[in-house]
Amino acid sequence: MAALVAFSVVIAGGCTKSDDPNNGGGGNNGGGNGGGTYNGHEYVDLGLPSGTLWATCNVGATSPEEYGDYFAWGETQPKDTYNWSTYQYCMGSDHTLTMYCTDTDPHFHFGYNGFYDDLTTLLPEDDVATANWGSGWRMPTRAQWEELYVNAAYTWTTRGGVHGRLFTASNGNSLFLPAAGYRSDVELKFAGIGGYYWSSSLYDCPVYAMGFLFGVDVCFVLNGNRDTGRSVRPVRSARQN
């Protein structure tokens, strides 16, 4: 991936406040008409057609520019090593899946001993956002990631010396996603160069899940190996209480 060029933009707002869903802060990353808090975590209203509200921080972070924790797809806790031998939903390889497996082709079985369950979206207990932040928060679906980059202008920038993407909606509110890279085995790769974020949606080939990738000149929905550690940015519905 090519080297990234960044420029500075200042955004106001933090990540956690009191557990009042109507309690907002200042600035366009949460507060007033721009957003508020839910279960102690700030969100921003980008005026998206679906009404989806985006959290201002990654899971495990306390400010928008912090990387936060990394998670294999469907796992709810960070760990030291990310590969198939440590992945919760397999027996040690990408052809021994024990959950979230839709492939029944006899020539390309990915399930352990022919296992498949046809689950294509993470259950709440396997959703990082729900498990860590509580009911009402969840990981974005593939469609919600697509809605974000279709309906908001995005640019490569820095915040507090951290590279990332700034998404600015037509209502003037904005969202910053740090380029936190991803974890494979024990290594952190492409930190400061690319952002790798999970969705809750499984890919057609079940060893992959859908996610969101961005760099200095790319920004799109893309699949990735389920065993790698990636960032999670939660969302919630505008109509939840």
Average of per-residue pLDDT across 224-234: 98
Question: Can you tell me the distance from the alpha carbon of 121 to that of 135, in angstroms, rounded to the nearest whole number?
Answer: 16
Average model confidence (pLDDT) for the chain?
87
**Region 11-18 average pLDDT:** 36
Residue 5: inside a domain: no
Question: Is 207 domain-assigned?
Answer: yes
Report residue 60 as tokens: 């495990």
As a whole number, mean pLDDT of residues 57-62 equals 98
Name 180's Cβ contacts closer than 8 Å, sequence gap at least 6: 58, 67, 68, 70, 191, 195, 196, 231
Within a domain: 17: no
Q: Which amino acid is at 83?
A: N
d(CA 179, CA 35): 23
pLDDT in the model for residue 109: 84
Q: What ranges in 164-236 are assigned the alpha helix state H?
A: none
The tally of domains found in the chain comes to 1
104 pLDDT tier (thresholds 50, 70, 90): low
Gap between the Cα atoms of 133 and 230, Å rounded: 17
Could you tell me if residue 39 is inside a domain? yes
Query: Residue 230 belongs to what domain range?
Result: 32-236
pLDDT digits (tens, 9 = 90+) for 132-190: 999 999 999 999 999 999 999 999 999 999 999 999 999 999 999 999 999 999 999 99
What is the mean pLDDT of the segment spanning 58-87? Answer: 98
